[in-house]
Amino acid sequence: MVQVSMKLEMKDTPGQLVRALKPISDTGGNIIAVIHQRESLTRAEVIDVQVVIELPEKRLEELVARMNEQGVTVQRIGTERLIHKKSLILIGHIMHTDLTDTVDHIDTTGYAEVSELELIMPAIAEPSSARMMIKATNAEAMNKALEILRQVARKKDILVIESLEENG
């Protein structure tokens, strides 16, 4: 699955928005957000709509074709490949156990990466604390990435604190 944001242009006629959005579910996608800005009317009888959707990467072309058939012009497409995010806290000797190596274990997977890292080192020889954001292509990839992190952390005697919500 990829997350896609699209800017659409369509005729301002009754039912047109519903017709424009129908191909999304037809191609196995989920709508995350629809932003419909009526006041930004530029030309008479034409409206701009922004949608954020999630769909199988391979079906993106098909979706655009189907939308075109409905009389919708796709003006812009932006995709984000790594849509699953998870925030963790690490405690231990994070720097001195080769932080680059720890991060590389995730980044070299091809399906996940460390996207944010905030590190606090209170004093020399004291354990440091870090907040780490991991992004992954999907839930399964996230679980695999987390298992890699847990194993690396165990070897380096680093405590990994995971969130409760996403594990529930």
Partner 1 sequence: MKVALLGLGSVGQGIASMVLKKGLGITITGLADSKSGIIDAKGINIEEILVRKRGGNPAGDTSVSAMDVVQNADYDVLVEVTPTNISTGEPARTHITSALRKGRHVVTSNKGPIALHHRELLTLADTHHVSLRYEATVCGAIPIIHILEHGLLGNQVKALHGIMNGTCNFILTRMSEEGLSYEQALAEAREMGYAEADPSYDVKGIDPAIKLVILANAIWNLGVTLHEVEITGIDQITPEALRLAGEDDATIRLIAEAIPARQLLRVSPRILPRSHPLVVKGTLNAVTLETDMAGSLTFIGKGAGSIETASAIIGDILFIREQYDGCS
Residues that bind partner 1 (CB under 8 A): 87-89, 91-92, 118, 120, 122, 127-131, 159, 161-165, 167-168
The residue among 6 and 86 lying less far from partner 1, judged by its C-beta, is 86
The residue among 87 and 108 lying less far from partner 1, judged by its C-beta, is 87
Neighbours of 5 (CB within 10 A): 16
In whole angstroms, the minimum distance from the beta carbon of 114 to partner 1 comes to 15
How many CA atoms, within 13 angstroms, populate the side-chain half-sphere of residue 106? 29
In whole angstroms, the minimum distance from the beta carbon of 52 to partner 1 comes to 22
Please choose, from the candidates 100, 86, 87, 102, the residue with its C-alpha nearest in 3D space to the C-alpha of residue 154. Answer: 102
The residue among 44 and 125 lying less far from partner 1, judged by its C-beta, is 125
For 100-139, b where at least 16 C-beta lie within 10 A, e where not — what string? eebbebbeeeebbbbeeeeeeeeeeeeebbbebebbbbbe
In whole angstroms, the minimum distance from the beta carbon of 150 to partner 1 comes to 11
The residue among 69 and 157 lying less far from partner 1, judged by its C-beta, is 157
Facing residues of 4 across strands? 53, 79
CA distance 157 to 143: 20
In whole angstroms, the minimum distance from the beta carbon of 9 to partner 1 comes to 37
Phi (first) and psi of residue 100, to 5 degrees: -60, -45
In whole angstroms, the minimum distance from the beta carbon of 94 to partner 1 comes to 11
